[in-house]
């Protein structure tokens, strides 16, 4: 029991020493204005380096992820059709598809799927 406790303490101490040394050695002490500014062919930038992010791209990405997860939930329904009772399987599948269609209608109604607005 003592050897396990000693090994655990030694491992913890070595881990903290390595983490401390890594954080101590990785810090930069000087902050250079030229190195922290965006590089534009050796000249000072005329405009901001980043353009504003369109929320439409973000919204389309979130909708894509949601439908991707929905497809991942739909695939097991088809696989379990042969080993399930037909009435509960059909009712659960129809309820799930109805919820998906209501969500699609809501997004369409809110204008989330219109690209040019």
Give first-to-last CA distance, the chain, whole Å.
69
Q: Is residue 91 part of a domain?
A: yes
pLDDT (tens place) for every residue of the chain, 117 residues total: 789 999 999 999 999 999 998 888 886 666 676 666 666 566 665 666 667 777 778 877 888 888 888 888 888 888 888 888 999 989 988 999 999 899 889 988 988 777 765
Say if 9 falls within a structural domain. Answer: no
Task: Look at residue 18 in the predicted model and tell me its pLDDT.
Answer: 94
In this structure, is the dihedral angle defined by the CA atoms of residues 28, 29, 34 and 37, taken in order, positive or negative?
positive
Domain that holds residue 78: 55-110
Total tally of structural domains belonging to the chain: 1
d(CA 46, CA 54): 22
> Residue 6 falls within a domain, yes or no?
no
Residue 37 belongs to a domain: no
């Amino acid at each position: 029991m003592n050897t396990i406790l000693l090994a655990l303490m030694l491992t913890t101490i070595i881990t903290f020493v390595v983490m401390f040394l890594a954080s101590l050695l990785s810090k930069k002490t000087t902050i250079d204005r030229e190195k922290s500014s965006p590089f534009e062919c050796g000249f000072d930038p005329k405009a901001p380096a980043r353009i504003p992010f369109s929320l439409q791209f973000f919204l389309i990405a979130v909708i894509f992820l949601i439908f991707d997860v929905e497809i991942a939930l739909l695939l097991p329904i088809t696989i379990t059709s042969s080993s399930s009772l037909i009435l509960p399987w059909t009712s659960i599948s129809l309820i799930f598809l109805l919820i998906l269609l209501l969500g699609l209608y809501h997004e369409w109604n809110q204008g989330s799927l219109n690209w040019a607005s």
